[in-house]
Chains A and B, each alone.
Chain A
Amino acid sequence: MKLRSFVGFTAPSVALMLGLLALPLLLTLWLSTRNCSFEMELVSVQQSGPFGTQAVTTQRAKVNAAGQPVQQCRDVGAEYYRKVLGLDNAAGAADKTANEFWPALRFTLLYVMGTTPFVLAGGLALALAMNRVTQKLKGVFIAASLLPFIVTPVVGALAIKWLFRDNGLVPHLLSHVGVQVFWMAQAWSAQLLVVIYGVWHVLPFAFIVFYAGLQGVPQDALEAATIDGASAWQKLRYVTLPHLAPLVVFVALIHVMDAYRVFEPVLVLTQGAFTTSVQYLTYHVLLQEDNPYKASAAAVLTIVGIAVLLIPLLRKTWREQRQGF
């Protein structure tokens, strides 16, 4: 292909990727090394409203001649990265204990590792089972299995919370067999609850991908295996699974990326108690600390975390691609 044609064909995609992926990423990187704040002044004012009048001494942004608040911006280098990681321990021990990044990373990795095998195994089992269901029932079963994936994450998490909270269906049923669990009261159960939500929500995605893959398993290979006397397990192990292998990597890749950003179930199920995740911390920095600059540093660290987790999967895909050529 001539260079001119090549550029003509690829330019729109490249422009879109640069504009929508690379540029925001670079901007986030740049923001993470900056800090802007208003120049504040101490003022004493008289405030009145529904609850009466009071004299208040407070801070207010200084304004310039045009009436605009004066902002000061400066480069902070890697300061926010150190802060998010808790490496700025000049202030002493209290600092280290207040830092939530490492516990958050621990729980995030637990979530990734805890959900991925169940999503893959569960999705595969469901796909294999669905493959055996008669044609008439398939539509109904597929629609029903996809529901958790279709439901908005917040709504799904709320549904799970309502099942497990005080007076919920699950504690109620368990109480009949003499088991009393307060799911949000201690670390193991709160974390398990978030993992249960994660598997429930993403399993349909794995299922539908594997189910689609199963439709493409070469029938002649299966028939040949049958003639050779292979058992059902051997056919699965030596014909079906190798055929699905690239899809397993694909689902794992997507799920690991997604799971590392776990947020909604944390916010809805436990509000972060015992289950603070990396993404939840970014949310806290952005909204509670009202600091988009530090939140950018946290976001960049999330990207780095995902990239590190993806290295083995990407290496595998890369090797397969090379073999393919």
Chain B
Amino acid sequence: MRRRLFLAGSGVVPLSGAASNSAAAQACPATATLGGIGEISLIGNSFPAITHIARRAEACARPGLKVSFKLTPQARTETELAFASAGRSPFDAAVVSMGVFSNLYARRQLAPLTALVEKHGARYKLEERMLVRVDGEVMAIAFMQNTQCLYYRADLFDKHRLAVPKTYAEMAQAAARLKTDEPSIAFPIAQGFAKGFDSATEFTNVLASVGGGYFQGNGAAPAFNGAEGVQAIAAMRSLMPYMTPNALASNSDDVVNQFQQGKAAMGVLWASRAARMDDAAASKVVGRMQFAAAPAAVAGGSSAAHLWWDGVVMPRKALRGPDAALRQEVAFHLLMNGLSEEAVAAGNDLTIWVRSSYKPGRFGTGVTLAQAAGARQWPSEPFFSLAHGEVGKVLPEALTGEKPAQAALDAAAAAYAKIVVEKGFVKA
């Protein structure tokens, strides 16, 4: 009865080898002359920008070259399992976020792409800022970026003569005004405070904004349960009186829904979701939402947001076998076909692309705003996701006040301290 979960929403989209030679040669000339290769398997999350890349890669299919691009919400898990497999990885390449990149890199499961970039980089006009280098070696090619920014109802802010908030305190003040003065808004703030990933990501943003960090020095010992952690939870709680009581189950989808239905007037949300505000089929607030840098959690702090990138990587395990080098080269061409200037131009508004040819519209300013407001890169420690996971577990109790913030964070730190030993980051 329940075994169908991971099939839901997933779909392998293979293109048959029946695609014509000439069409493929036109779509991607680089792979047209490389002979019979068989099947190249790629994987990525199922959202619009990656679907766009998948379609471009699939256009290279021809007799002798089958392209299957698996688009699934479980891409992270499948990629990590595939890249860790004892034999050759079932996927020749994957699209990953920077958090997953950090884990894969730390486990030495990624193949360097330097030689391929040197050989073909000019052909695809790869820009230096797309190349994710570690000590000079290209380990990933970034194509899109993301961050959190403040969404706000410009019409209501104008109507009530409210200034765009720059801190959480100003946000709470503006929300208090709207709660009393604006009859259409019962809960002015909408933000992803759901248990787990969403609230832990908010905590991470706010913690950085108040000047705190997750770890002590360069080590893996926890520091997120220090004074700044408690301060971060207090800042998050200061917004809760203005949020729906359902906030602890509100993920990004629910926040988008609250904005689109005109039930919330402001909140911090992923920049990549901005275009949905003007989706006339689902939104009642078309043209009324504006975007600004995420407010700082405290006066003088940095913007409570982090910078993310998504990129393509290849597994080290694919390098086995006689045809390994050729397969790697073909997979590279397929992906570059999806990341080319033409591909970006054709899907300009699908995401915030890294390429300089990208033309940010009304919805594409999030990353620039966050960078200007001092947002940092998402933490790259390979043990970060373990701490993030434990924090996400305890936040509901701390946010409702059921447990003091310090006690909740101490519990998360204690659990994390054990996990980090199990995973070998700290010696027992």
Bitwise interface map of B from 120 to 141 toward A, beta carbon under 8 Å scored 1, else 0:
0000000001111111100010
For the complex, what is the distance from the CA of A271 to the CA of B197, rounded to whole Å? 9
Query: How many residues of A sit at the interface, in one of the four size bands?
Result: 35 or more
Q: Which residue of A lies closest to B307 (CB)?
A: A51
B423 interface contact, C-beta 8 A: yes
A83 interface contact, C-beta 8 A: yes
Q: Which of B256-270 contact A (CB under 8 A)?
A: 257-258, 261, 263
Contacts A50-B130, A51-B377; A152 near B106 (Cβ below 8 A): no
Q: Which of B158-166, B342-350, B383-391 contacts A (4 or more CB under 8 A)?
A: B383-391
Q: A263 — which chain B residues lie within 8 A by C-beta?
A: 2, 5
Contacts A50-B145, A154-B5; A290 near B423 (Cβ below 8 A): yes
Minimal beta-carbon separation of A43 from chain B (angstroms): 9
Q: B423 — which chain A residues lie within 8 A by C-beta?
A: 37, 289-291
Minimal beta-carbon separation of A158 from chain B (angstroms): 9
Could you count the A-B residue pairs with CB atoms below 8 Å apart for me: how many are there?
198
Interchain CB contact under 8 A, A48 and B132: yes
A45 interface contact, C-beta 8 A: yes
Interchain CB contact under 8 A, B245 and A154: no
Q: Which of A91-99, A226-234, A300-308 contacts B (4 or more CB under 8 A)?
A: A91-99
Interchain CB contact under 8 A, A72 and B424: yes
Our pick among B106, B134, B245, B411 for the contact of A47 (Cβ within 8 Å) is: B134
A155 interface contact, C-beta 8 A: yes
For the complex, what is the distance from the CA of A177 to the CA of B312, rounded to whole Å? 54
Interchain CB contact under 8 A, A190 and B249: yes
Q: Which of B282-316 contact A (CB under 8 A)?
A: 307, 309, 316
Our pick among B106, B130, B187, B389 for the contact of A289 (Cβ within 8 Å) is: B389
Q: A48 — which chain B residues lie within 8 A by C-beta?
A: 131-133
Q: Which residue of B lies closest to A95 (CB)?
A: B414
Contacts A166-B263, A288-B385; A60 near B108 (Cβ below 8 A): yes
Q: B407 — which chain A residues lie within 8 A by C-beta?
A: 94, 97
Interchain CB contact under 8 A, B5 and A269: no
B246 interface contact, C-beta 8 A: yes
Q: Which residue of A lies closest to B102 (CB)?
A: A58
Minimal beta-carbon separation of A245 from chain B (angstroms): 23
Q: A88 — which chain B residues lie within 8 A by C-beta?
A: 418
Interchain CB contact under 8 A, A273 and B249: yes
Q: A51 — which chain B residues lie within 8 A by C-beta?
A: 145, 307, 309, 371, 377
A54 interface contact, C-beta 8 A: yes
Q: B389 — which chain A residues lie within 8 A by C-beta?
A: 284, 288-289
Q: Which residue of B lies closest to A294 (CB)?
A: B422
For the complex, what is the distance from the CA of A62 to the CA of B393, rounded to whole Å? 31
A147 interface contact, C-beta 8 A: no
Q: Which of A4-12, A18-26, A123-131, A179-187 contacts B (4 or more CB under 8 A)?
A: A179-187
Interchain CB contact under 8 A, A290 and B386: yes
Interchain CB contact under 8 A, B245 and A56: no
Q: A38 — which chain B residues lie within 8 A by C-beta?
A: 106-107, 424
Bitwise interface map of B from 384 to 426 toward A, beta carbon under 8 Å scored 1, else 0:
0110011011101000000100010011111101110011110
A258 interface contact, C-beta 8 A: yes
Interchain CB contact under 8 A, A98 and B2: no
Question: Which of A97, A258, A270 has the most C-beta atoms of chain B within 10 angstroms of its own C-beta?
Answer: A97
Q: Which residue of A lies closest to B136 (CB)?
A: A46
Interchain CB contact under 8 A, B108 and A63: yes
Q: Which residues of B contact A (CB under 8 A)?
A: 1-2, 4-5, 7-9, 77, 80, 98, 102-103, 105-109, 129-136, 140, 142, 145, 187, 194-196, 198, 218, 220, 244-249, 251, 254, 257-258, 261, 263, 307, 309, 316, 354, 371, 377, 380-383, 385-386, 389-390, 392-394, 396, 403, 407, 410-415, 417-419, 422-425
Q: Which residues of A contact B (CB under 8 A)?
A: 35, 37-40, 42, 45-51, 54, 56-61, 63, 67-69, 72, 83, 88, 91-92, 94-95, 97-98, 100, 149, 152-155, 165-167, 182-186, 190, 201-202, 205, 258, 261, 263-264, 269-274, 284, 287-291, 293-294
Q: What 13 new A-B contacts, CB under 8 Å, besides A98-B393, A185-B246?
A: A38-B424, A46-B136, A50-B142, A59-B381, A69-B108, A88-B418, A98-B412, A165-B257, A185-B245, A270-B195, A289-B419, A289-B422, A290-B423
Q: Can you sample 11 A-B contacts with CB below 8 Å?
A: A51-B145, A60-B108, A67-B108, A98-B390, A154-B4, A182-B246, A185-B246, A185-B249, A273-B249, A288-B390, A290-B423
